[in-house]
Amino acid sequence: MRFTKMHGIGNDFILLDGFNGAPEDPGALALRLCDRHFGIGADGLILALPSRRADADMRILNSDGSEAEMCGNGLRCLGKFLYDTGLCRRNPLRVETLAGILELTLKIDGDGAVESVTADMGAPCFDPPSIPVASDSNAITLEVGGHKLDFFCVSMGNPHAVTFDLFPDDGTFAALGPLLERHPVFPRHCNIEFCRLEGDAVRVRVWERGDGPTLACGTGACAVLAAGASQRLLPRQADVRLPGGTLNIRWDDGGHLFMTGPAETVFTGEISL
């Protein structure tokens, strides 16, 4: 099986061309390929599939084999993969996801390869049942591990809980992350963003649902901007600084969030299954 290893500011993925057929059990395949000791190693597995409604369909499996509705960094990587391999040379191009059809605008470098991608991530959702969060409000307070934290919950097609109350050290991050991800208030579990304001920018640590610590999360960056701007802590366009690099997020007057950042190919290869 041929594969391409890619990353978006350190959030890394294995991409497979599924236009001529998809694997029968992608969850089991993700568990095997994403293992960093016995497989290729990645935060997730992305299948590029044909779509009747868009230029391509994206399925993303987390490293634990669970399927995610969306992934912003993975979406940018898929856009580069489709264009650079010739599977789809449209610009902009449209990608079908479990969170809907999203449009990507590609910045092409002098060699004809994709350098960066701007993704229309759609409008954030603050409705508690749709996020979902088991609360009458998307603003909740949780007591976990000796900490009492306020969270602003957002869906970007997948659930996020954002706090500006704590920017944890490594030990606290490792202890709180799994407790919050699987807290009973989140019926489908949740991505957790710990934030620290830095002027008109924000620094973020992400505990990603199904993956744990990751160097970046595109939907998480969008959720942080939506949460921060809603609470007047951030402007409607800001740099979101993640461990692997920076994404620029813009919330336009029409209500959509636009994410701009790089996508890079690490290597291609072949693995026997």
Write the burial class of residue 94 (CB in 10 Å: 0-12 exposed, 13-18 middle, 19+ buried): middle
Give the pLDDT confidence score for residue 90 in this predicted structure: 95
What is the spatial distance between Cα 29 and Cα 272, in angstroms, rounded to a whole number?
Answer: 12
What is the spatial distance between Cα 245 and Cα 222, in angstroms, rounded to a whole number?
Answer: 15
The pTM for the full model equals 0.92
Comparing CA positions, the residue from 1, 32, 10 lying closest to residue 244 is 10
Comparing CA positions, the residue from 137, 168, 177 lying closest to residue 154 is 137
Give the pLDDT confidence score for residue 55 in this predicted structure: 98
> How many helices (H) and strands (E) are present in the chain, helices listed first?
4, 18
Give the pLDDT confidence score for residue 188 in this predicted structure: 96
Please name every residue paired with 142 in a beta bridge, in sequence order, or none if there are none.
149
User: What are the φ and ψ backbone dihedral angles of 162, each rounded to 5 degrees?
Assistant: -115, 130
Residue with token string 């807290």: 183
Over the chain (273 residues), the average pLDDT of each successive run of 10 is 96 96 93 96 97 97 94 96 96 96 96 95 97 98 96 97 98 97 97 97 97 94 98 98 98 97 97 87
Annotated catalytic residue: which of 34, 71, 88, 222? Answer: 71
Give the pLDDT confidence score for residue 216 in this predicted structure: 94
Structure tokens at 244: 């692997």
For the chain, domain boundaries: 2-119+261-270, 128-255
Q: The domain 128-255: what is its CATH number?
A: 3.10.310.10
Give the pLDDT confidence score for residue 273 in this predicted structure: 80
What is the spatial distance between Cα 108 and Cα 33, in angstroms, rounded to a whole number?
Answer: 30
Give the pLDDT confidence score for residue 220 in this predicted structure: 97
Assigned fold of 2-119+261-270: Diaminopimelate Epimerase; Chain A, domain 1 (3.10.310)
Asked if 71 is an active-site residue, the reply is yes
Structure tokens at 257: 């969030």
Asked if 125 is an active-site residue, the reply is no
CA angle 134, 125, 188 (to 5 degrees): 40
What is the spatial distance between Cα 157 and Cα 96, in angstroms, rounded to a whole number?
Answer: 12
- The crossing angle, in degrees rounded to 10, of helices 72-84 and 218-230 is 130
Annotated catalytic residue: which of 77, 153, 195, 217? Answer: 217
Q: Alpha-carbon Rg of the chain, whole angstroms?
A: 18
